[in-house]
Amino acid sequence: METWIGLMSGTSMDSVDAVLVSFDNKTIHIHDTLSTPYPDSLRQRLALASQNQATPDEVGELDTLTGLVFAEAAENLIRNTTVDRSSIHAIGSHGQTLRHQPSGPGRFSLQIGNPAIIAERTQVTTVADFRSRDMAAGGQGAPLVPAFHKHFFSSETEDRCILNLGGIANITWIPACNREPVTGFDTGPANALLDAWCLDQTGRPYDEGGRWAEEGTVDQGLLGDMLSDAYFSRPAPKSTGKEKFNLEWVKTQVHRHPGIRPEDVQRTLLKLTVITAARQMPQSPSMSVYVCGGGAQNPLLMKELALAISPARVLNTETLGLSAQWVEPVAFAWLARQTLKRKPGNLADVTGAKGPRILGAIYPA
């Protein structure tokens, strides 16, 4: 049995999710999972670095320290499983995104978490740096998970929209019977702003269950100002990150509305996530929306989303056989598999690249 490990840490910068998985045609078998939190001090340093508040020496050190956490996550997963280490073909590591700048003459996407350390510590071949080749071919380098969604979540009878509510929200549109190309892009902020505002105002790293937001009401003036941001009307392909949508972005918007309560801002940010995702989804009478990422655990967010896109159904990706938390780590295990089998990992219709490309850099065991 050929198994693979996927490692993922998103823009929330809270932990490294590790999954041990095997693939059988279009069936996914998860053998073990493990979530390894970042030490608080490292998380704080990563947050500062992502806002350009770090020297080159500090970025280099963070690359090593983050690589050690990724390696620890993979090694602990291997140690805890009954699957034989020799059957693990490779590790696919997304790394930790520090900056994503997909436009301009010096466009780049920077993920840290030194993959050489992962390969050395685990003695398992490691594939990383998935975004660079797509960007070299003229693409955004993101989102990359739609190729995985297409392979495993396509339907003959149902138009499907896969909505990832991570730090940033992104959609993958999969028409039934592949009658049209699969498309996808980042719709805008999700947990990145909800978490940042909650931490700034309450000291809590996130609004558990959306309970704090539920105490507030949507401020229509603030919402209107937020929705006027040019990103939301920009055509695809497009991608974004915390370098665009961050706490300072929120505070700039809130400054125009003195006297607004913090909980009202939180509720308005939740509404912003819902509206920007819903407005940018294709319209189809047979569509179902399958949600993954941390936002799937927020009942208020899911309720508001269901109201916004009714009569389309809103479901968890668990109904497709894959838990919402593990979709992205499994995707990067699959992308590592694509790399080693010399198969493309991107969708040019999604990223805007000149064509399909084999992604990733390989660090042999």
Tell me if residue 334 falls in helix, strand or coil. Answer: helix
Tell me if residue 135 falls in helix, strand or coil. Answer: helix
Q: Is 64 annotated as a binding residue?
A: no
Q: Is 67 annotated as a binding residue?
A: no
Tell me if residue 31 falls in helix, strand or coil. Answer: strand
The greatest distance separating any two alpha carbons of the chain, rounded to the nearest whole angstrom, comes to 61
- Give the separation between CA 278 and CA 191, rounded to whole angstroms: 16
Is residue 329 a contact partner of residue 7, using CB atoms and an 8 Å limit?
Answer: yes
Q: Is 57 annotated as a binding residue?
A: no
Q: Is 82 annotated as a binding residue?
A: no
User: 50 vs 90, 184, 190, 245, 294, CA distance in Å?
Assistant: 28, 25, 17, 12, 20
Q: Is 17 annotated as a binding residue?
A: yes
User: 39 vs 68, 98, 293, CA distance in Å?
Assistant: 12, 17, 21
Site of tokens 């609004």: 207
- Cβ contacts of 203 within 8 Å, gap of 6 or more: none
Q: Is 289 annotated as a binding residue?
A: no
User: 218 vs 18, 130, 169, 172, 268, CA distance in Å?
Assistant: 37, 39, 20, 28, 5
Binding residues for ATP: 10-17
Binding residues: 10-17
